[in-house]
Amino acid sequence: MKKILLSLLAVVMMAFVVTSCSSDDSSSDNAYENLIGTWNKVADVQTGSTTDIEDCIDKERLAFSSNGTLTITSFSGTDFNNCQEVSTTNGRWEYLGSNNYLIYPVGTTITNENRPLYSYVITFHNNNVEMRRFVQLAHQTGINSYERYLRQ
């Protein structure tokens, strides 16, 4: 009986060691993996005030691919439940580290002068089904507004 308990204890301890030594999801190698997928804009938040997206013109879909490409889809229409796709813009994205990303249209040359115009801080919430895209401009001392997206 003692051998069985010791064996069971050893198995439990091995399981603890294996799970505690697993890779960290926030490592620099895979920190951007949460971004990959399709995201639908659901709200604009400015200084704590949330405005839900209820108009087709404000609706937006972002599709991030693992190869660094991005597709931005815009919509139009009079009934939010029946919005029509009106334009698709192809872009690129780059992970800069520390939740900072460059997002820019294809054909744009990024220089030190225009880099702040395309820089975003992106954070993930609610088990990675919610994304918040904060615009980071060089002249800002703090970020008070962001766009809220949900994973499709």
Is the separation of the CB atoms in 123 and 132 below 8 Å? yes
Residues 113 and 135: their CA atoms lie apart, in Å, by 16
Provide the greatest CA pair distance for the chain. 73
What tens digit of pLDDT does each residue of 18-61 get?
333 333 333 445 668 899 999 999 998 887 788 888 888 889 99
In this prediction the pTM is: 0.72
Among the residue ranges 4-13, 51-60, 105-114, 141-150, the one predicted with the least confidence is: 4-13
